[in-house]
Amino acid sequence: MPTRPNSLASTSSDTLGTAEESRAKGRALRDAVPFEAHAGWQPEANRPNPVERVLAVNAGRQERLIPLRMARMAESPFAFLRGSATVMAWDLAKSPSIGHNVIIDGDAHINNFGLFRTPRQDVVFDLNDFDETLVGPWEWDLKRLTASINVAARENGVDASGRERAVRSACAAYRTSMASLWQVSPYDLWQMRSYASALHIDAPTKLDANEKETITKTVERAMKRSHATMLAKVAEPAGKSWRFKVDPPILTRLDAAEKNHVVDGLKPYLQTIAGEWRIMLERYEVADVAHRVVGVGSVGTRAYLVLMLGRALGDPLFIQVKEGIVPAAAPFVAPLDETQQHQGRRVVQGQRLMQSSSDALLGWTTIAGRDFYVRQMKQIRGSIPVDWLHGATFDFYAWCLGLLLARAHARTGDAALITGYCGTSDKFDAAYASWAERYGAQTVADHAAFCAAISVGHVSTT
């Protein structure tokens, strides 16, 4: 196991030569780690019981919400995959790697990509969840992405050939995008955006009118969301102010002490964002704070929703304050250096490095001895529902995700080296498709074991 401290600011200790030298090094690594090494999947003889690993992660979470987390994970194999990053982290740590680290998302499944509005008010499509981000092998992100594509396709009734095609599409996009990105200057790379209005233009998969309409509806639905529309859904007038509507267990009130802790935690948070945005936030006052359950894997962690109001009652601003916990893959990589062991700061720095245009209000704080990160509840945020993904739409979406993941990795990794390794043929894509099919079957089996544990009372969902 690696023990040398690592840093989100520097993902490689190697002295970089020319890009051509990196490509040659990548090609040479195919001898040490051939594509075929990625294609197979068989659980290690000492593989931990997946149910027990899931239960172990419940430690430190809010006990009243653990049954809800278990119930959400039991809904389907894909839900189980989302909530069981700890299971896959152990498996990935045993998988082949060429040894090149980048900033990885750590949880790059298909539901962790989506639409959001940038500080410039553009609508872009990108990675949007970074709770598990850390320094690690680039292959781990690509394998989590391809496994999620396979499992989601299974649930949608896509046959084996369709699953293979979708995974190959994602890998081809990753591979060919890297082949372009190694020739792009760092400055230009940092300016790249994937605008929602132009997603379909360069994709090799051509969508028909109905499939394009699916994408268009998703964008339109997301664009209708705003802080103002959210206010009416989750809050109600309270005298001259507003307060959250109680909707247990999803949205619950805090006692006075916990509420004060959260409000006090916003003060040091302000020092972690740019000065001009601090001045903007000072024009708002906290109207109410509530606990809000989010996601699948995050259920049970502490996540607060803060309602802030400007001088006009119709001027709301929602802030999320979410607990940062140790990422699932942390035991299998070198530890971060001391300055970056604050879990909220780790999330923020990882997001700023991987995402094309991060939230200007993204920062971190500490509340009652626990690490948190803070962000704006997006004025616009959306993703294509998994059950909409079939045929060409699925292939197109998978292609988009592979492209975005490549771009995120190129920002902190050696794109030339990765390009040299991946090559120009589809042999790399085929190997990952084979692996994803096998690991997809493993996920289905793990989910079945989890449901069996629920049926005998070993795992509680109530």
pTM: 0.93
Q: Which residues contact 395 (CB under 8 A, 6 or more apart)?
A: 165, 166, 169, 205
Let me know: does 135 contact 327? Beta carbons within 8 Å: no
Nearest by Cα to 404 from 188, 124, 120? 124
Q: Which residues contact 454 (CB under 8 A, 6 or more apart)?
A: 70, 74, 460, 461
Q: Residue 438, class by beta-carbon neighbours within 10 Å (0-12 exposed, 13-18 middle, 19+ buried)?
A: middle
pLDDT computed for residue 157 by the predictor? 95
Let me know: does 168 contact 430? Beta carbons within 8 Å: yes
Pairing mode, strands 113-117 and 123-127? antiparallel
pLDDT computed for residue 392 by the predictor? 86
Amino acid at site 439: Y
Query: Position of tokens 């278990």?
Result: 70
Amino acid at site 124: V
SS (H, E, C) 283-307: CCEEEEEEEECCCCCCECECEEEEE
Length of the chain: 462
Residues facing residue 317 across a β-bridge? 308
In angstroms, rounded to a whole number, what is the distance separating the alpha carbons of residues 401 and 115? 12
Amino acid at site 406: A
Q: Which residues contact 221 (CB under 8 A, 6 or more apart)?
A: 382
Residuewise pLDDT in 10s, the chain (462 residues): 344 446 665 555 445 679 999 999 999 999 999 999 999 999 999 999 999 999 999 999 999 999 999 999 999 999 999 999 999 999 999 999 999 999 999 999 999 998 877 777 777 789 989 999 999 999 999 999 999 999 999 999 999 999 999 999 999 999 999 999 999 999 999 888 776 655 555 667 667 777 777 777 777 776 667 788 889 899 999 988 999 999 999 999 999 999 999 999 999 999 999 999 999 999 999 999 999 998 899 999 999 999 999 986 678 999 999 999 999 999 999 987 776 789 999 999 999 999 988 889 999 999 999 999 999 986 556 667 788 788 888 998 899 999 999 999 999 999 999 999 999 999 999 999 999 999 999 999 999 999 999 999 999 999
Radius of gyration of the chain (CA): 22
In angstroms, rounded to a whole number, what is the distance separating the alpha carbons of residues 9 and 200? 33
Residue 255: CB atoms within 10 Å:
8
SS3 231: helix
What confidence tens digit (pLDDT) does each residue in 408-439 have?
999 999 999 999 999 999 999 999 999 999 99
pLDDT computed for residue 278 by the predictor? 95
pLDDT computed for residue 196 by the predictor? 63
First vs last C-alpha separation in the chain: 38
Task: Give the angle subtended at the CA of 137 by the CAs of 132 and 138, to the nearest 5°.
Answer: 85
Residue 281: CB atoms within 10 Å:
16
pLDDT computed for residue 336 by the predictor? 79
Q: What φ, ψ does residue 162 adopt, rounded to 5°?
A: -70, -40
Query: Position of tokens 């009130």?
Result: 253
Q: Which residues contact 346 (CB under 8 A, 6 or more apart)?
A: 8, 133, 134, 324, 327, 336, 340
Let me know: does 300 contact 66? Beta carbons within 8 Å: yes
Nearest by Cα to 283 from 315, 261, 306, 260? 315
Nearest by Cα to 131 from 268, 326, 273? 326
pLDDT computed for residue 189 by the predictor? 92
pLDDT computed for residue 16 by the predictor? 64
